[in-house]
Structure 1
Amino acid sequence: MEFLFNAYAFDGELDLNRLAQKLGMTRKYRWEEPMKLNPVTFAPVPSANGEQAYLYYFGGVVFLNCSADLIARFLDAIQGHAGQMKRRHQFPFHEEYRLEIDPQRETAIANNCAVMPRCDPTFLDIICFVIAKSVALERIEARIDQVFDEVEVLIAKLARGKLELPDRDMARMASSILSFKFTSIAHIMVLDKPEITWDDPQADRLYLTMAGLFELNQRYLEIRHKSETLLDMTGVFTSLSHARRSARLEWIIIILIAIEIVLYLLELFRH
């Protein structure tokens, strides 16, 4: 028996409770709890059984045993219910994983596939949870790299003695950096484990192994470090911008005083 996983990240978080209402569901979802849907009927699926889609509110969707055509049709159909959903070709962040069930082989877990002697729905849930976190982190990593590129341009201008950045753009950059830290902590909750791992030692070991293979904690620490570095750089740019503005105001005041003195002297000369 073989299970194929395909994970994608979409733009922003997904309000599962609002989506549940649009799909005619009444239950409430917690942050770590995925919405499991039949990718054809959009009906809720209680446990792993055939083709399935796992939706996570932190911005990930994982397809279990779904063909490429079925994934594309699902994303096209659900975008009317969730604004963050886009067509498949607009999903640059993608993760694939494979699980083989073979009673004759021992458990083996790698970064692209795993082998287990028996099938446990809990294990499927954990694999989906980890790779959904991984693609969500990949989305943040790509965005923070874009901000680094923007800052690099500013540093190059600063080296030439130029710093032309409006306060609105500076505030937008700082807001983006803070959102990276908030999203990785509050939305993705990289450092938190699924509730099932507290009661099931095997599930806990699998989660820790998978999280280690996908380097979730290390990637989170790197995002936090980069965010703090960018905030420090933004603080420097803000200080320089304010100093430049203060110097400009001082020169304006000096010029106005000089003009006033000249006018006063002219008035004395006339008399």
Structure 2
Amino acid sequence: MQTKKLISYLSCEKFEKNIFTSLEERYKCNIIKDAVIINLEEDEQIILFKYGVFICWNVKFENIKFFMDFIKNFEINSFDIPFIEELNYTLENEFKINFDTIYLNNLSNISKIAISQALAQNVKLDQFEKELLTSIENNSSIPLQLAHTGKINLTKKEISKKIGELFLVKSKMNLHYDLLDTPEFFWEYPEYENQYEKLIKYLDIKSRVEVLNKKLEVIQELLHVLGDEQKHRYSSFLEWIIIILITFEIVINIKDHF
């Protein structure tokens, strides 16, 4: 069997629930657990997951484009540029992965879903990595300001906005973190989990998740720094109010004595 293209796409945060019904109306589909298998032309399949990912198995470029145009109406928080990863696959006697080529020992739908689960997690992890890195880079000036000037050169409103932005990033990662766990799919099909685990290891997903956790800790530290600064400014404001009130009271008492 010749080598064929295996392309992963992450086009949005997630798909609307009614996408499954619309896909069934337009394509020949099978739904197995959380995956939709879409049959196009002969030997062309797309496996779609609700969290914005679809995997193209040997699909022509024009069919991919047509499919992307169709699902655009069901995307929630679409990305301007989709996350894309490419591999190859072929049929062999023994399952293995070598030089970006997956050698499958069978081409059943279940086997393809097992592989697609790992590929879907891979591109979702790409998204998390990029968003966290962007957030850290956008706020890297905060520790530098503290180191050079001993204070943060932001207004109270700007600090509140920064806290909100960082909290949204952190909570989003925590909310969708289960997407990087072993899928429930393998509770029913444990015989395919070995293929999934081999691909997870090849894509270095577990160590990348550890790095992701470290970056989340950086976000948490930034939140602490900004929170402390906000408390300090509020305390300073109260102190000045107290000083002004005491001064005012002293002035009044002096006037009363004269």
TM-score computed with the length of structure 1 as normaliser: 0.80
User: Cα offset for 1:267?
Assistant: 4.1
Q: Deviations over 1:131-178 (max 9, x none)?
A: 111001100100011111133111122222332243243133122112
User: Cα offset for 1:117?
Assistant: 4.8
User: Cα offset for 1:218?
Assistant: 2.0
More strand by share: 2
Could you say what secondary structure the match of 2:6 adopts? strand
Task: Please give the residue correspondences for 1:45-194 in structure 2 after superposition, counting only pairs within 5 Å.
Answer: 50-85=43-78, 90-102=80-92, 106-110=94-98, 112-159=100-147, 160-163=149-152, 164=154, 165-185=158-178, 188=179, 190-194=180-184
Larger mean CA deviation between 143-152 and 109-118 belongs to: 109-118
Contact 2:128 2:173 in 1 (8 A): yes
**1:7 maps to what in 2?**
8
Instruction: Say if 1:199 and 1:63 are closer, same or farther in 2 by CA, change over 3 A.
Output: closer
Contact 1:170 1:238 in 2 (8 A): yes
Could you say what secondary structure the match of 1:13 adopts? strand
Amino acid at match of 1:152: S
- Structure 1 CA distance for aligned equivalents of residues 226 and 200 of structure 2: 37
**1:210 maps to what in 2?**
199
Q: Deviations over 1:65-120 (max 9, x none)?
A: 1122322222122212334456xxx33421111111145xx543136112245433
Q: Deviations over 1:198-245 (max 9, x none)?
A: 5453x2221110111112222222222321332133113201220122
Could you say what secondary structure the match of 1:75 adopts? helix
- Structure 2 CA distance for aligned equivalents of residues 101 and 24 of structure 1: 29
Residue 247 (structure 2) pairs with residue 258 (structure 1): yes
Contact 1:78 1:85 in 2 (8 A): no
Could you say what secondary structure the match of 1:119 adopts? coil
Larger mean CA deviation between 52-61 and 260-269 belongs to: 260-269
Contact 2:12 2:76 in 1 (8 A): no
Could you say what secondary structure the match of 1:230 adopts? helix
Could you say what secondary structure the match of 2:226 adopts? helix
Contact 1:174 1:234 in 2 (8 A): yes
Amino acid at match of 2:182: D
Larger mean CA deviation between 62-71 and 192-201 belongs to: 192-201
Amino acid at match of 2:85: E
Contact 2:34 2:185 in 1 (8 A): no
- Structure 2 CA distance for aligned equivalents of residues 267 and 28 of structure 1: 89
Contact 2:15 2:74 in 1 (8 A): no
Alignment identity in percent?
A: 19
Instruction: Say if 1:39 and 1:196 are closer, same or farther in 2 by CA, change over 3 A.
Output: same
Contact 1:184 1:220 in 2 (8 A): no
- Structure 1 CA distance for aligned equivalents of residues 78 and 206 of structure 2: 27
- Structure 2 CA distance for aligned equivalents of residues 71 and 13 of structure 1: 18
Amino acid at match of 1:166: I
Residue 36 (structure 2) pairs with residue 35 (structure 1): yes
Contact 1:22 1:81 in 2 (8 A): no
Amino acid at match of 1:151: N
- Structure 2 CA distance for aligned equivalents of residues 71 and 169 of structure 1: 39
- Structure 2 CA distance for aligned equivalents of residues 61 and 260 of structure 1: 71
- Structure 2 CA distance for aligned equivalents of residues 24 and 107 of structure 1: 31
Instruction: Say if 1:24 and 1:214 are closer, same or farther in 2 by CA, change over 3 A.
Output: closer
**1:246 maps to what in 2?**
235
TM-score computed with the length of structure 2 as normaliser: 0.83
